[in-house]
């Protein structure tokens, strides 16, 4: 029952978003961004719903969703790890990092761990090539990474999750303060292989 109400609320919110942009096809990306904020991800049924309301084909909407790495078509973990596999990062070993994360988290068929803690994906250049290889975890950027950093990063974020579990009242900002990512994950130095 509660689930059905939740779903109705989400679709009502979706309607409001689409109305705000007057079903303007040129605003599709904004609509999708806001829809993802409300629903968490953009499954096929949501894409179909948006397409119908904006008088577009499902393949047009799906084309945009699958083109931009910021959009997700399946539920996302609490920590979304996006490994940049653009050229500068790729030549600095980004693919190995990506595989190490997946191996470490036992991700074979899915991008998200069963406990919903981590989602691991590759992404295009995020414009921080000087720090290659680079990844983001939610809105935090980590650069100049080596394969040794994979386990360290996962430990850091698992610890962060445990801290919140133990003390649910703790605000996100306070958690960040308590459990800062160890120095050495990101630097401001220019990397000689910078470029796209």
Q: Which residues bind ligand FES (CB under 6 A)?
A: 84, 86-89, 125-129, 132, 134, 196
Residues 6+ away with beta carbon under 8 Å from 184? 149
136-157 residues labelled b (16+ CB within 10 A) or e (exposed): bbeeebbbbbeeebbeebbebb
Q: Which of 7, 74, 69, 88 lies closest to 43 in space, CA to CA?
A: 74
Minimal CB distance to ligand FES: which residue? 86
Q: How far is the CB of 194 from ligand FES (least distance, A)?
A: 8
Q: How far is the CB of 136 from ligand FES (least distance, A)?
A: 10
Output 17 or 145, the one with its CB closest to ligand FES: 145
Output 140 or 179, the one with its CB closest to ligand FES: 140
Output 128 or 153, the one with its CB closest to ligand FES: 128
Output 77 or 86, the one with its CB closest to ligand FES: 86
Contact 144, 188 (CB under 8 A): no
Output 68 or 172, the one with its CB closest to ligand FES: 68
Q: How far is the CB of 135 from ligand FES (least distance, A)?
A: 9
Contact 42, 60 (CB under 8 A): no
Q: How far is the CB of 129 from ligand FES (least distance, A)?
A: 3
Q: Which of 97, 95, 73 lies closest to 86 in space, CA to CA?
A: 95
Strands 118-123 and 140-142: unpaired
- Alpha helices by DSSP H, 105-188: 148-166, 172-178
Q: How far is the CB of 78 from ligand FES (least distance, A)?
A: 24
């Amino acid at each position: 029952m509660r689930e059905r109400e939740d779903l109705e609320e989400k679709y009502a919110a979706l309607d409001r978003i689409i109305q705000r942009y007057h079903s303007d096809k040129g605003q599709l990306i904004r609509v999708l961004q806001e829809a993802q904020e409300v629903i968490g991800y953009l499954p096929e049924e949501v894409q179909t719903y948006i397409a119908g309301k904006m008088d577009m084909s499902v393949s047009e909407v799906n084309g945009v969703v699958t083109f931009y790495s910021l959009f997700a078509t399946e539920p996302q973990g609490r920590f979304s790890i996006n490994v940049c596999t653009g050229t500068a990062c790729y030549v600095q070993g980004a693919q190995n990092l990506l595989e190490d994360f997946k191996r470490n988290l036992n991700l074979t068929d899915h991008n998200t761990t069963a406990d919903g803690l981590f989602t691991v994906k590759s992404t295009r250049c995020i414009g921080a090539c000087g720090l290659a290889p680079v990844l983001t975890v939610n809105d935090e950027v980590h650069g100049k990474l080596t394969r040794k950093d994979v386990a360290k990063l996962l430990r850091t974020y698992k610890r962060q999750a445990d801290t919140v579990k133990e003390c649910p009242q703790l605000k996100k900002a306070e958690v960040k303060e308590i459990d800062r990512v160890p120095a050495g994950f990101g630097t401001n130095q220019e990397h000689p292989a910078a470029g796209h």
